[in-house]
Amino acid sequence: MIRQTVAPLLFGIFGVAILLALGTWQMQRLTWKEETLAAIDARIGAAAVDLPAQPDPVADRFLPVITSGHLTGEGVDVLVSRKDIGAGVRVIAVLETDSGRRILLDRGFLAEASRGLPRETHKLEVTGNLLWPDEVDGFTPAPDAASGLWFARDLPAMATALKTEPVLIVARSQSGDGIEPLPVDSAGIPNNHLNYAITWFSLAIVWAGMTVLLLWRMRRKHA
């Protein structure tokens, strides 16, 4: 009887050990992700600096910047939806800085009902964060030529269409026209490691229980 139970017992111990190791690894990843998100939040909320001459997508990601210039009246609207509000657009406008640079400014959210209202082409000082959005995949529709509506912040494509630098500032200050800023934050960065850890630990408990049940049934059958 003992010889017959050795293989199932070893298999059960091995399976539980693997699952516990995976759960422990996910807990370690959780600690790392929380530290990373805290660092990102600290960077996002830091004091704004002048817009770099040549922003780097890696080194300057989330960098708080301040610049001034005037809105040229050019831009695109990107479809977005907000909880408890409904459909609307992100207003992406061309900002010509005082030094003559043409960059993109994500002014924020505008409800669909207000989309057709005129927008001012005024001078402003804007504070925000540099962002290189990663929102485009194989399922993203092409922009609707008839309505001028885009379905993702495709920075290279928007910069080409509007003849600007591939630089996007997401405003955290008001820019007028009833547009509500949607500042950059870390909420959109996934952090599912706790759920993964719970899953692996739960599977370890189930595996251990099934092993015990199997050994009990083998012993009962032998008896």
Contact 76, 147 (CB under 8 A): no
| pLDDT at site 58 | 92
Has residue 23 got a pLDDT over 60?
yes
Domain range summary for the chain, segments of one domain joined by +: 2-40+190-222, 63-171
Helix then strand then coil, in percent of the chain rounded to 5, is 40, 25, 35
Has residue 1 got a pLDDT over 60?
no
Q: If you search the block for the tokens 């996002």, which residue do you land on?
A: 44
pLDDT (mean) for 215-223: 78
Q: How confident is the model at residue 2 (pLDDT cuts 50, 70, 90)?
A: low
Burial of 67 per CB tally in 10 Å (0-12, 13-18, 19+): buried
Please state, as a whole number, how many other Cβ atoms lie within 10 Å of the Cβ of residue 88.
Answer: 22
| pLDDT at site 47 | 93
Contact 147, 115 (CB under 8 A): no
CA distance 73 to 216: 76
| pLDDT at site 186 | 81
Bridge-based pairing of strands 64-82 and 102-111 is unpaired
CA distance 144 to 115: 15
pLDDT per residue as tens digits for the range 86-122: 889 999 999 999 999 999 999 999 998 888 888 888 8
pLDDT per residue as tens digits for the range 46-94: 999 999 999 999 999 999 999 999 999 999 999 998 877 788 999 999 9
Give the helix/strand (H/E) hosting 211.
helix 193-222
Contact 12, 208 (CB under 8 A): yes
pLDDT (mean) for 114-141: 90
CA distance 220 to 223: 5
Highest mean pLDDT among 27-41, 182-196, 199-213 belongs to 199-213
| pLDDT at site 202 | 95
Q: What Cα–Cα distance (Å) separates residue 135 from each residue in 148, 155, 196?
A: 18, 9, 24
Q: What Cα–Cα distance (Å) separates residue 20 from each residue in 56, 192, 206?
A: 41, 17, 12
> Percent of the chain at pLDDT above 90?
63
| pLDDT at site 223 | 63
Q: What Cα–Cα distance (Å) separates residue 156 from each residue in 104, 135, 175?
A: 11, 12, 23
pLDDT per residue as tens digits for the range 169-203: 999 999 988 899 999 888 777 889 999 999 999 99
